[in-house]
Structure 1
Amino acid sequence: MMVYGAIEAGGTKFVVAVGDEKGNIIKRETYKTTEPAETMQQVIQFFKQYESDLKAIGIGSFGPIDIRKDSKTYGYITHTPKLAWRNYNIVGALKNEFNVPMGFTTDVNAAALGEVKLGAAKGLESCIYVTIGTGIGGGAVVRGEILEGFSHPEMGHIMVKRHKHDRFTGNCPSHDDCLEGLAAGGAIEKRFGKKSALLADNEEVWNLEAHYLAQAVMNYTLTLSPERIVLGGGVMKQRQLFPLIRQKLKGLMNQYVKLPPLDEYIVPPMLEDDAGITGCVILAVQTYEKEQ
């Protein structure tokens, strides 16, 4: 039986799986993200069980990463705040063990691919997936392919207009007024003194959050004009955010461009926490087919 390997490399955990050519997960495991030597040994041991049937591996990693095939550091996790993983050659470590094609992208790009193929954007040609959790990241699929250029998108660090009553200094070490610094889960916790899950009934929190996320959705819409925007991550488990974001987006757009019905345009992930690992299986399948 042909199987395709998948690795969703996250800052706190690695999810590994094998799946079939349709993106269905056959077997999966989760390992804590510790030192590279320890975590990668577990990853490699998992795939060794399937080595004779393994056709390709798709890797969706926390970043920043180097996705340029002609670069000396292609396949590396680069300037990450997780110091043990900084400048770590994750693709190279796997290539040393498995002689199969490997696809390499960001975790959010992989999630976008999962949602457009099997999730909330299934049947469409394009979507953006944004995760709003501890940090904020976004990926895009255009005409069924992951959007990449000189590097990969960093949608969490676009600049947004600060709310006139927001005195919070921001939570990003690089930028004062970026989306992640003002609207990620870490920013909510620092601003209000509690994790977002404990603030469900606080209307001020979610109105402020929607103020920033609606601006981001407007920017993504005007730049890429996707058919659907999927908002996932821990913060978006507060489903009351969706109508607030749609309402504020409508006001910001002020009928400037035509949009799909907003309850179909801005949606939660259908695959929920499986979007990333499913996308990694699909990436493996795509990579294998391209190399045939």
Structure 2
Amino acid sequence: MVEPLRLGAIEAGGTKFLCAVSDRDGTILMQTRIATTTPDETLGAASAFFTKAAEQLGALSAFSIGSFGPLSLNPVAADYGCITSTPKAGWQDVNLLTHFRCTVDAPMALDTDVNCAAVGERLFGSGQGLDTFCYVTVGTGIGVGLLINGAPHGGANHPETGHIKLPRAPGDDQFAGICPYHGDCLEGLACGPAMQARWGVPAETLPADHQAWDIEAEYLAGLCATLTYTVRPDRIIIGGGVMQPPMFDRVRRALREKLAGYDASMRAIDMADYIAAPTAGPSAGLTGALALAYRTMTRQWPMHWAITDTSSITAEAVHA
């Protein structure tokens, strides 16, 4: 008889924590949504959920968190497990792993929310069948998840590609940028709040022919060119609220110009396939976190799973 697996995971975002427990096959057994307020309130509610889940379903076999960051992911670092220099008020230096070790007795894993979303895309979305690809999200911030040889990239710490410096887009010389650390880094120039600060209205309200979209495409193409030259991924998947459908063709055209015909393999890139939208759905991050818990326990990815549906998770809905 196969020993039951109980996998716990959190998709920890700046506005909400999605918490879930699944079985070996990825079927959700319990789930809840918790508003991201203070660390004490939010983490306390999450711990209470997993304590209740253990009482009803049995002890967790493995536990994983996909979190907003920056994070300290190097196990030898003194602050390993911490959210570090985040602009999220009150969350700097909060150690997620230390907190949950007080209530969860199981092997643990921690990674960025974008890396977990990339895992979800590899299992169920636009990353299926690919070993090396990038997942970019353009919203409140700009994050890049990177899978190499089928696993999230790790080193001294996770990449912070959203904070690279790029040449200014034509017609965008005066905007100072909003990043509190770098001013006019990529995130400071091209995230959703940066677009609102530059144009005075939310990005989604700008007309399709507004110059804002050409400027945005220039910056995102600059990011994609950098990823192409440094990683040479099989695909770059771009999601997030700023990526309205017409943006994909704009980014593809701008990227083709930036690559400028260099190298035969780059000249052969099919841009319609190379720059792609995510297709794993809004549950990709939580599914990826559960898959990371599965891999922590079994040392392999759960390629047999079906996609997790979290569309019905509410603060009141805890399903057993």
Q: Which range, TM-score by smaller chain?
A: over 0.9
How far 1:261 sits from its partner (Å)?
1.4
Confirm or deny that 1:73 pairs with 2:79. yes
- Is the 1:129–1:229 Cα contact (8 Å) retained in structure 2? yes
User: Which deviates further from its counterpart, 3-12 or 199-208?
Assistant: 199-208
TM-score of the aligned structures, taking structure 1 as reference length: 0.94
Confirm or deny that 1:208 pairs with 2:208. no
- Is the 1:25–1:278 Cα contact (8 Å) retained in structure 2? no
Q: How far apart, in 1, do the equivalents of 2:93 and 2:189 lie?
A: 28
Structure 1 unaligned blocks of 5 or more = none
Equivalence for 1:116? 122
Q: How far apart, in 1, do the equivalents of 2:211 and 2:277 lie?
A: 22
Q: 2:10 aligns with which of 3, 7, 13?
A: 7
TM-score of the aligned structures, taking structure 2 as reference length: 0.86
User: Which deviates further from its counterpart, 187-196 or 18-27?
Assistant: 18-27
**Cα RMSD (Å):** 1.7
- Is the 1:135–1:185 Cα contact (8 Å) retained in structure 2? yes
- Is the 2:26–2:290 Cα contact (8 Å) retained in structure 1? yes
Q: How does 1:194-273 map to 2 (within 5 A)?
A: 194-236=201-243, 238-257=244-263, 258-259=265-266, 260-273=269-282
- Shift in CA distance, 68/214, structure 1 to aligned 2, threshold 3 Å: same
Confirm or deny that 1:286 pairs with 2:295. yes
Confirm or deny that 1:56 pairs with 2:81. no
Structure 2 unaligned blocks of 5 or more = 301-320
* Local SS of the residue matching 2:61: strand
Opposite residue 171 of structure 1, the aligned amino acid is: I
How far 1:201 sits from its partner (Å)?
2.6
Q: How far apart, in 2, do the equivalents of 1:147 and 1:19 lie?
A: 25
Equivalence for 2:113? 107
Q: How far apart, in 2, do the equivalents of 1:222 and 1:285 lie?
A: 33
Whose Rg is larger?
Answer: 2
Confirm or deny that 1:30 pairs with 2:33. yes
How far 1:49 sits from its partner (Å)?
3.1
Q: How far apart, in 2, do the equivalents of 1:77 and 1:172 lie?
A: 18
How far 1:177 sits from its partner (Å)?
3.0
- Count of matched residue positions in the alignment of Structure 1 and Structure 2: 290
Equivalence for 2:316? none
Confirm or deny that 1:188 pairs with 2:195. yes
Q: Which of the pair is proportionally richer in helix?
A: 1
How far 1:212 sits from its partner (Å)?
0.6
Kindly provide the CA deviation profile for residues 75-100 of structure 1, in whole angstroms up to 9, marking residues without a partner as x.
11122222322111111111111110
Equivalence for 1:169? 176
Q: How does 1:151-166 map to 2 (within 5 A)?
A: 151-166=157-172
Opposite residue 192 of structure 2, the aligned amino acid is: G
How far 1:45 sits from its partner (Å)?
2.0
User: Which deviates further from its counterpart, 271-280 or 216-225?
Assistant: 271-280
